[in-house]
Chains A and B, each alone.
Chain A
């Protein structure tokens, strides 16, 4: 019987893990914010006309994407002190996650920028709009529609990756769960509670990403989707909702 106690036992550990959840959320927010801004500039640099600039940026991107986050964590926390750079656990974790987020996001942002038809910036040019205005009003808003859904997915992945920061003693969910587990030996219950906490964020996150993907399609794509839905009788309700939206 005892073997199944964890099935109803685990909720009692949630309150003890909540401080860890806030740490994980804070780490995700900070590293994604910095990471995506960095990723945006890396994307622009990769597209720069100078080969030197472009290749250097590409090297940074590939390092960010290619090195596992666990390795980055150890490099920043245990490796850098050897070079005289001493980082506390939390900044080290944020640096590692930021680096990885920058690498992945820059390719997503670059794909978004690249998917905006060339005719759009040509039209803006032909109207004498400046390069900055062309990006600000024409290219970036259209690229965002393409880039934001994958960026939301990446945010979910980064949130899950914060669990790795336990290895460098950041007091996030897993760190807390480990401490409680070793004191109570209720590993099954406490890690179940941890898993549930992660799911509380990731499942709504995935739903948001799916919604945005639907929402942010260009009007043309939207009508294509509508056409497909029109063929499926079960989607009748959805269709009218979208039609209402379109006519608004």
Chain B
């Protein structure tokens, strides 16, 4: 079941998007198998540059597995994946280290549990990966880090350790850490699920800003408001497959699939 599309309202397309088959990310028939269980089952997905896609669905549907497949934290069992110029074919065995690195360099990821490095200050969390991976000098990395911390409104927390920051602050630092690596695709794995709603709102605010800066984003979320108002596309995932995908208004108000209707009526309470 392959749902390909081109986003009609993506302004980034006209601007600087590479003229490669229209899409920036193209996953073809990705499958991730854990033993007998297919967490991701034959999923195809295209994302245009600058597009924001929300992936919704019941827990255990394979949403997290899917986006973890996109930066190869989980190596898919079969299928093909292209991000920008990096292509990996999983049908031909384990991908090489170089191809994994190429692909990952395009992506940044934000986790549900933040995963900041607890033994480093916020600033060092953001500078160390830049220095080790992009070989930036300390001064260069720090300048960039402060830029990103400012972007998430936390330049005052640069010297603080993660344990001295609130959950919402930690998540914003994690976003800054990912952004400082110049990703062209941001993956969000339930970024607000570990936070109370009020704090979650400040994360969503940062993500809104990113979206309006034309960042390409894939967001696994239970925040229906965000899915509806920020994303260009909503994909509904059930039992490892994307059963329906379309503009948020259509999915939210007039879903075609009976299981989408069931899921939405459960989460939206109607």
A residues at B contact (CB < 8 Å)? 117, 119-120, 122-130, 133, 137-138, 141-142, 145, 218-220, 223, 246
What separation, in Å, do the CA atoms of A39 and B106 have in the docked complex?
38
What's the least CB distance linking A220 to chain B, in Å?
A: 6
Docked complex: B85-141 residues within 8 A CB-CB of A: 101, 104-105, 107-109, 111, 113, 115-119, 128-129, 132-133
Are A220 and B181 in contact, CB atoms less than 8 angstroms apart? no
What separation, in Å, do the CA atoms of A17 and B161 have in the docked complex?
49
Are B119 and A127 in contact, CB atoms less than 8 angstroms apart? no
CB-nearest residue of chain A to B128: A137
Are A126 and B104 in contact, CB atoms less than 8 angstroms apart? yes
Judge whether B73 is part of the interface by a CB distance below 8 angstroms.
yes
Residues of A within 8 A of B115 (CB): 117, 119-120, 122-123
What separation, in Å, do the CA atoms of A128 and B161 have in the docked complex?
22
**Neighbour of B111 across the interface among A123, A137, A223, CB < 8 A:** A123
What separation, in Å, do the CA atoms of A67 and B196 have in the docked complex?
54
Using known A-B contacts A133-B132, A220-B163, determine if residue A126 contacts B119 with beta carbons closer than 8 Å: no
Using known A-B contacts A127-B178, A128-B104, determine if residue A138 contacts B117 with beta carbons closer than 8 Å: yes
Contacts A126-B104, A218-B118 known; 15 new A-B pairs at CB < 8 A: A117-B115, A120-B115, A123-B115, A123-B174, A126-B109, A126-B111, A137-B117, A137-B132, A138-B117, A141-B119, A218-B163, A219-B161, A219-B163, A220-B163, A246-B164
Residues of B within 8 A of A123 (CB): 109, 111, 115-117, 174
CB-nearest residue of chain A to B187: A126
B residues at A contact (CB < 8 Å)? 71, 73, 101, 104-105, 107-109, 111, 113, 115-119, 128-129, 132-133, 161-164, 174, 177-178, 181
Using known A-B contacts A219-B118, A219-B163, A220-B118, determine if residue A125 contacts B73 with beta carbons closer than 8 Å: yes
CB-nearest residue of chain B to A119: B115
Using known A-B contacts A128-B104, A128-B105, A219-B161, determine if residue A142 contacts B118 with beta carbons closer than 8 Å: yes
Number of A-B contacts (CB under 8 A): 66
CB-nearest residue of chain A to B132: A133
Residues of A within 8 A of B73 (CB): 122, 125-126
Are B117 and A127 in contact, CB atoms less than 8 angstroms apart? no
What separation, in Å, do the CA atoms of A246 and B161 have in the docked complex?
10
What's the least CB distance linking B134 to chain A, in Å?
A: 9
What's the least CB distance linking A239 to chain B, in Å?
A: 17
Are B132 and A119 in contact, CB atoms less than 8 angstroms apart? no
CB-nearest residue of chain B to A138: B117
CB-nearest residue of chain A to B112: A119
**Neighbour of B129 across the interface among A117, A119, A127, A220, CB < 8 A:** A127
Using known A-B contacts A142-B119, A219-B163, determine if residue A128 contacts B129 with beta carbons closer than 8 Å: yes
Residues of A within 8 A of B101 (CB): 128
Using known A-B contacts A123-B111, A127-B133, determine if residue A223 contacts B163 with beta carbons closer than 8 Å: yes
Residues of A within 8 A of B178 (CB): 126-127
Residues of A within 8 A of B181 (CB): 127-128
Residues of B within 8 A of A120 (CB): 115, 117
What's the least CB distance linking A219 to chain B, in Å?
A: 3
Sample 22 A-B pairs with CB under 8 A, ordered by A number.
Answer: A119-B111, A119-B115, A122-B115, A123-B109, A123-B111, A123-B174, A124-B129, A125-B73, A126-B107, A127-B129, A127-B133, A128-B101, A128-B129, A128-B133, A129-B129, A130-B132, A133-B132, A141-B119, A142-B117, A218-B119, A219-B118, A220-B163
